[in-house]
Structure 1
Amino acid sequence: MKKGISLKKLESFEKDFDSNIANKIAMNAVTNNGINQAALNRDVYNNNQNAFSIEVKAGDVCNQKQSGRCWMFAALNTFRLQVMDKLNIENMELSQNYPLFYDKLEKSNLFLENMIETIDMPVTSREVAFLLMAPLGDGGQWDMFRSLVAKYGVVPKDVMPETEVSSMTREMDKYLTTKLREFACEFRKMKAEGKTVKDLRDAKEEMLNTIYRMLCISLGKPPVKFTWETKDKDGKFIKVKDITPQDFYKEYVGMPLNDLVTVINAPTKDKPFYETYTVKYLGSVADGDYPVKYLNLPIDELKKIAIKELKDNKVIWFGSDVGQFSERKKGFLTMDALCIEELFSTKFGMTKEERLDFGESLMTHAMVITGVDLDEKGKPIKWKVENSWGKDVGFDGYYVMDDEWFSEYVYQILLDKKYLNKKQAEAFKKEPIVLEPWDPMGSLA
Structure 2
Amino acid sequence: MSNETKAAISSDQITRYQTLFNDRKDAKVVERAVTHQGILATSADFASDTDMTPVFSIDLDTGKVSNQKQSGRCWMFAALNTMRHHLADLFKLSDFELSQNYTYFWDKFEKANYFYQNVLNTADQPLDSRKVAFLMTTPQQDGGQWDMLCAIIEKYGIVPKSVMPETYSSSKSSELNGTLNKKLRKDAVTLRDLAAKNASSDDIAAARDKMLGEVYRLLCYTLGEPAQKFDFEYRDDNKNYHIDRGLTPKSFYDKYVGWNLDDYVSVINAPTNDKPYNKTYTIEMLGNVLGGRAVKHLNVTMDDFKQLAIAQLKDGQSVWFGCDVGQSSDRQKGIMDTNAYNKNELLDMDLSMTKAERLDYAESLMTHAMVITGVDLVDGKPTKWKVENSWGEKVGTKGYFVMSDSWMEEYCYQVVVNKKYLSLELRKAQEETPTVLAPWDPMGALA
Q: Judge same fold: TM > 0.5, yes or no.
A: yes
Deviation at 1:222, TM superposition (A): 0.9
Specify the alignment match of 1:322 in structure 2: 325
Separation in 1, partners of 2:35, 2:69: 28
Deviation at 1:45, TM superposition (A): 1.4
Range with bigger deviation, 42-51 or 104-113: 42-51
Given that residues 102 and 148 in structure 1 are in contact (C-alpha distance below 8 angstroms), is that contact kept between their aligned partners in structure 2? Answer: yes
Query: 1:184-263 alignment to 2 at 5 Å?
Result: 184-263=188-267
The CA deviation string for residues 209-260 of structure 1, in whole angstroms up to 9 with x for no partner, is 0011111111111111111222111111121222011111110011111101
TM-score by structure 1 length? 0.97
* 1:142 partnered with 2:161: no
* 1:155 partnered with 2:159: yes
Identity of aligned residues (%): 48
Deviation at 1:22, TM superposition (A): 2.6
Given that residues 36 and 338 in structure 1 are in contact (C-alpha distance below 8 angstroms), is that contact kept between their aligned partners in structure 2? Answer: yes
Specify the alignment match of 1:105 in structure 2: 109
The CA deviation string for residues 12-65 of structure 1, in whole angstroms up to 9 with x for no partner, is 212222222433222222222222222221111111111000111112111111
Specify the alignment match of 1:345 in structure 2: 348
Deviation at 1:194, TM superposition (A): 3.1
Given that residues 116 and 200 in structure 1 are in contact (C-alpha distance below 8 angstroms), is that contact kept between their aligned partners in structure 2? Answer: no
Query: 1:30-179 alignment to 2 at 5 Å?
Result: 30-179=34-183
Runs of 4+ in 1 over 3 A off after TM superposition: none
Given that residues 123 and 196 in structure 2 are in contact (C-alpha distance below 8 angstroms), is that contact kept between their aligned partners in structure 1? Answer: no
Separation in 2, partners of 1:184, 1:425: 41
Deviation at 1:439, TM superposition (A): 0.7
Separation in 1, partners of 2:50, 2:410: 22
Specify the alignment match of 2:296 in structure 1: 293
Separation in 1, partners of 2:94, 2:136: 44
Separation in 2, partners of 1:184, 1:125: 15
Deviation at 1:70, TM superposition (A): 0.3
Separation in 2, partners of 1:24, 1:60: 46
Specify the alignment match of 2:370 in structure 1: 367
The CA deviation string for residues 288-315 of structure 1, in whole angstroms up to 9 with x for no partner, is 1x11111100011010011111110010
CA RMSD of aligned residues (A): 1.1
Given that residues 68 and 390 in structure 2 are in contact (C-alpha distance below 8 angstroms), is that contact kept between their aligned partners in structure 1? Answer: yes
Q: Secondary structure at the match of 2:26?
A: helix
Equivalent residue in structure 1 for 2:11, among 7, 12, 17 = 7
Given that residues 86 and 317 in structure 2 are in contact (C-alpha distance below 8 angstroms), is that contact kept between their aligned partners in structure 1? Answer: no
Separation in 1, partners of 2:223, 2:38: 37
Separation in 1, partners of 2:107, 2:232: 23
Separation in 2, partners of 1:133, 1:88: 45
Q: Secondary structure at the match of 1:5?
A: coil
Deviation at 1:2, TM superposition (A): 2.3
Range with bigger deviation, 268-277 or 185-194: 185-194
Given that residues 116 and 197 in structure 1 are in contact (C-alpha distance below 8 angstroms), is that contact kept between their aligned partners in structure 2? Answer: no
Separation in 2, partners of 1:386, 1:90: 15
Q: Secondary structure at the match of 2:169?
A: coil
Q: Secondary structure at the match of 1:103?
A: helix
Alignment gaps of 5+ in structure 1? none
Deviation at 1:413, TM superposition (A): 0.4
The CA deviation string for residues 189-219 of structure 1, in whole angstroms up to 9 with x for no partner, is 2233331233212210000000111111111
TM-score by structure 2 length? 0.97
Specify the alignment match of 2:416 in structure 1: 414
Separation in 1, partners of 2:33, 2:318: 40
The CA deviation string for residues 153-172 of structure 1, in whole angstroms up to 9 with x for no partner, is 11111111111111110111
Specify the alignment match of 1:403 in structure 2: 405
Deviation at 1:90, TM superposition (A): 2.1
Letter in 1 for 2:266: T
For these two proteins, the number of residue pairs brought into alignment is 443
The CA deviation string for residues 76-114 of structure 1, in whole angstroms up to 9 with x for no partner, is 110101221221122211111111101100000000011
Q: Secondary structure at the match of 1:330?
A: coil
Specify the alignment match of 2:277 in structure 1: 273
The CA deviation string for residues 263-282 of structure 1, in whole angstroms up to 9 with x for no partner, is 11111111101111100111
Given that residues 321 and 371 in structure 2 are in contact (C-alpha distance below 8 angstroms), is that contact kept between their aligned partners in structure 1? Answer: yes
Letter in 1 for 2:21: F
Q: Secondary structure at the match of 1:411?
A: strand
Equivalent residue in structure 2 for 1:426, among 428, 437, 444 = 428
Deviation at 1:434, TM superposition (A): 0.5
Deviation at 1:383, TM superposition (A): 0.4
Specify the alignment match of 2:313 in structure 1: 310
Separation in 1, partners of 2:28, 2:170: 45
